[in-house]
Amino acid sequence: MIGVFDSGLGGLTVVKELLKLLPQYRLIYFGDTARTPYGTKSAETVTHYAIEITNFLLKKGAKIIVVACHTVSSTAMPALKEIFPKVPFFEVVTPSMKKALKLTKNKKIGLIGTRTTVESGIYERLFKEVDPEIKLYSQPAPLLVPLIEEGWLKKPETRRIVKKYLIPLKMRGIDTLILGCTHYPLIKKVIQEKAGKRRKLVDPSEEVALEVKTFIETHPEFIKELASNEDPEIYVSDITPNFEKIAQLFLGRKITLKKVNLG
């Protein structure tokens, strides 16, 4: 079983890509909807949540864990790998960085993400290691996750806020934009429209799903452990009618959200 988690529903973008690439494998998802957003919380709190959720997914039978949250990926990965040394972890930051490097022509890359992700400096460090000539321009976008969780995917207010966040990055001359949160692909069309057709978008959901696929294909010992044709199990820490509606709309299938309290 492949375990996936996020601070809310945004990680379902990763589930969708995994279902597309690996339909024969069983998936379990946990969205921490009661405590979202993570981007406004301390690294210590986010790490505590991530450990709780990983324990839950492993107890449910997950054999590999996909951290579908940029905030967790940028703050908690060292702790997770230390506490669970035998578990293969996949995060969304590194594959997004690699894709941006392939796409950029002028080496000016933009990033939108939660405050915690941007302030962590994780992307700056990674780019500096592989190509010091890259200029990364980061823009915190704290309002986007709450808007997406509310289902305001096409509202005029959302479009105006996206435009406002992107203006400073466009003025810097970026040719590539990293969607530094797995919620953001839910409004990818709006972001592309406001960014302009010439700018390439990096979707973290697509990139991490490809990495998981490659891993499974090169590690046959996991195939039997993960294989199943059952529907994905979707767990959340809080349920509202809106959450279920958004989840079903995005995944394109009828699902049942199951509530579980971890704290």
Cα-trace Rg, the chain:
17
Whether 133 contacts 151, CB under 8 Å: no
CA–CA gap between residue 36 and residue 34 (Å, rounded): 6
Among 69, 77, 100, 191, the one annotated catalytic: 69
Exposure string over 214-226, b if 16+ CB within 10 A, otherwise e: eebeeeeebeebb
The distance from CA 231 to its chain's CA centroid, rounded to whole angstroms, is 21
CA–CA gap between residue 99 and residue 94 (Å, rounded): 9
CA–CA gap between residue 68 and residue 81 (Å, rounded): 15
Among 15, 53, 93, 181, the one annotated catalytic: 181
Peptide bond into 146 cis (omega under 30): no
Give the residue ranges of DSSP H helices in the chain.
Answer: 12-21, 43-59, 70-75, 77-83, 93-103, 115-120, 122-130, 144-149, 156-171, 188-195, 204-218, 223-226, 241-251
Exposure string over 53-84, b if 16+ CB within 10 A, otherwise e: bbebbeeeebbbbbbbbbbbbbbbbebbeeee
Q: Cβ neighbours of residue 59 under 8 Å, at least 6 residues apart? A: none
Respond yes or no: is residue 181 known to be catalytic: yes
The catalytic residues are: 69, 181
